[in-house]
A and B are shown apart, each in its own frame.
Chain A
């Protein structure tokens, strides 16, 4: 007869137990003091220093440029072995956080704005004060707003290795088809609205929309909030700006575009993200970062696109962000790691990054290669934008209120909640979270 594995004396609980434990996590951690690390002096190591260090980052497309940098570094320090540890973005922060908890961070690793204060205030990363004092790194060489992003309470922990700003990518062919003038540097919100509406109306038979709203702050609504004169986090980092009129205006621009059909709807943009609408030639414009250059350059629309500055609201603004190389405070080979940090921030390494990578190097004057890397497309727009760029809004525990944004704002974009109700709720929750930091 049939045999079920449970027919014999299996305990009822054994099964449940075995299943339940699959869910539990083994968390072993040692408590660490919540004080920022003290800076020690920095001096360049002897060229025969022997060490093995790990350098962790998430963007595999930059690996070639990074390997080239390290080859240059090894000409100076032939006995320092650098192991690269690439973890895709989705798992990067989980991994780094676990490593920080168990004090096994990679010697040198990428940190971004939203996570920086968390790591710095808990003493997980080493200040660069020593290197700055020794003249090995000069913060004046990098965009000021980004240098400030990696400064906590007057202490500098890193300098940006690259930066990205947002621009208005557009498809010239679609504009021509719809008989609309292409965007210029003088565009305002009204121009954006009327042009996208016309395109959606004219080309609706082909399923083409005027503009793709995005569901993500950095590329879309943070920009328009700044353009409306608003702020996401107050200057002193204690309150949320979401319940201000300016912030509401910044969000309403997008909800109006979606409601009027000038943009695809929220479900449509979830199934197919804004950048894919653009690269498949189904949308006339989209707010995209400088990093979109690579994906657009590989797509079917690559020969018919150009880019313009973001249309201005009350003021001109774009979000700027860039990652930084930071040294782990508990690194066993701190001197070697700092030497690499210094080298990667040098003009030589930065120029090489610009020539090889898909990124804009942060060192002032090394960006020429980027601007010329896409003939026919005015990439200079992304560099000029630094003049009026605003850093990505962050706080000590950005992830906490980013989660509230992700929970409440989709209902605004889908039209289920009105902007006023949602932003009042969002601001209250966010301010409460900021108070806990």
Chain B
């Protein structure tokens, strides 16, 4: 799918290449430094603020840090300690659970986006703004509101549940439930972004398909499953990648909804929280660097897998 042009016959390409070779070499020489000059500001920024810190973190993951700096080389000690740290696996489990739940928001977003795209819908922009608001609101502000909603004794959620006879749990202070509660908020707040991207994808689907389907007597549901969803897969793919990456980086919502003093926090850590705790609470920066490297490789690997398997389900025009 990544190829831009159809393959030209081998012979034609060779001869064309031979003809152009001289001119191209000449042009390249003439361009000289100019193209580089234009990209250097960007490259310098990336190198300084992205690549260099990654390399440094990689290096520091093999060291042990004094509380106020000064590092000593300890080889793979941090990694050995990490693989035998039960917190790593519970954090990984929590992060995967969170990611899984937030991903459930994507089918929901596809459905909501197609509803919002219904021709002739009144106040469509208003609804769009409404759904997008949680995405632009500060996570801490969102978290404070949800913390009140989730309050076991005095929260509105358990009050509503009690009206239908359900005795709601203590959402943010019961191990196992807390991470689900945080994930629901994560799902809710990422819905707006997914819907905007998917909505843009929807407007790119030519109405002719629907007209043709209607002539053939396809039901709206059939149109949705056979036209909308398949043609939307590139956008769905994009949203999935972004959602997985941001879910793996879960920190602020967890920190703000559960609170740093929450006694069940040690059982509800995410990977990034584990990193934060090692680096900034218990003052083990070398160990924190090792955790950061693991998260880095994990996200890279998961993203790689997604690109590998996209061929199976992402349709290209």
Contact = CB atoms under 8 A, between A and B. Distances in A.
Given A21-B53, A267-B152, A271-B151, A8 B283 contact: no
A266 B263 contact: yes
A34 B235 contact: no
Nearest to A26: B53
Given A29-B68, A124-B68, A266-B263, A2 B296 contact: no
Interface in B8-26: none
Contacts of B223: none
Given A24-B54, A27-B285, A271-B150, A7 B173 contact: no
A112 to B, nearest CB: 15
Contact of B68 (A6, A13, A97): A97
Interface stretch (B29-37, B126-134, B237-245): B237-245
A409 interface: yes
Interface string B241-280: 1000100110000000000111111100000100101011
A15 B241 contact: yes
A-B pairs with lowest CB-CB distance, top 10: A31-B70, A29-B69, A410-B263, A4-B234, A270-B173, A267-B170, A16-B300, A20-B296, A267-B173, A1-B317
Given A13-B300, A20-B295, A272 B151 contact: yes
B303 interface: yes
B2 to A, nearest CB: 6
A23 B295 contact: yes
A25 B53 CA distance: 6
A3 B201 CA distance: 7
Given A7-B1, A270-B262, A2 B234 contact: yes
Interface in A253-302: 266-268, 270-272
Interface size range of chain B in the complex? 35 or more
Interface stretch (A154-162, A336-344, A365-373, A395-403): A395-403
B254 to A, nearest CB: 14
Contact of A122 (B53, B68, B71, B317): B68
B95 interface: no
B138 interface: no
9 contacts: A4-B201, A16-B303, A19-B249, A21-B54, A25-B53, A31-B70, A270-B173, A271-B152, A400-B283
B5 to A, nearest CB: 12
B231 A2 contact: yes
Nearest to B284: A400
A48 interface: no
Interface in B143-171: 150-155, 170
Contacts of A1: 204-206, 231, 317
Contacts of A102: 69
Nearest to A121: B67
B316 to A, nearest CB: 7
Interface string A386-408: 00000000000101100100110
A17 B53 CA distance: 12
A377 interface: no
Nearest to A17: B300
B109 interface: no
Interface of B: 1-2, 4, 49-54, 56-57, 60, 66-71, 150-155, 170, 172-174, 201, 204-206, 231-232, 234-235, 237-238, 241, 245, 248-249, 260-266, 272, 275, 277, 279-283, 285, 288-289, 292, 295-297, 299-301, 303-304, 307, 314, 316-317
A20 B205 CA distance: 33
Given A15-B303, A20-B297, A29-B69, 11 more contacts: A6-B234, A7-B1, A32-B68, A122-B66, A270-B264, A271-B152, A271-B173, A399-B283, A400-B282, A400-B283, A409-B263
Interface string A221-249: 00000000000000000000000000000
* A3, A27, A207: residue with the most chain B Cβ atoms closer than 10 Å: A27
B283 A12 contact: no
A215 interface: yes
B310 to A, nearest CB: 8
B227 to A, nearest CB: 12
Contacts of B262: 270
B303 A101 contact: no
Interface in A29-86: 29-32, 34
A29 B56 CA distance: 12
Contact of B316 (A5, A7, A94, A403): A7
A2 B68 contact: no
B63 to A, nearest CB: 11
A215 B260 CA distance: 12
Contacts of B288: 25
Contact of A271 (B67, B172, B303): B172
A26 B285 CA distance: 11
B197 to A, nearest CB: 9
A15 B301 CA distance: 11
Contact of A270 (B154, B172, B249, B289): B172
Contacts of A4: 201, 234-235, 237-238, 314
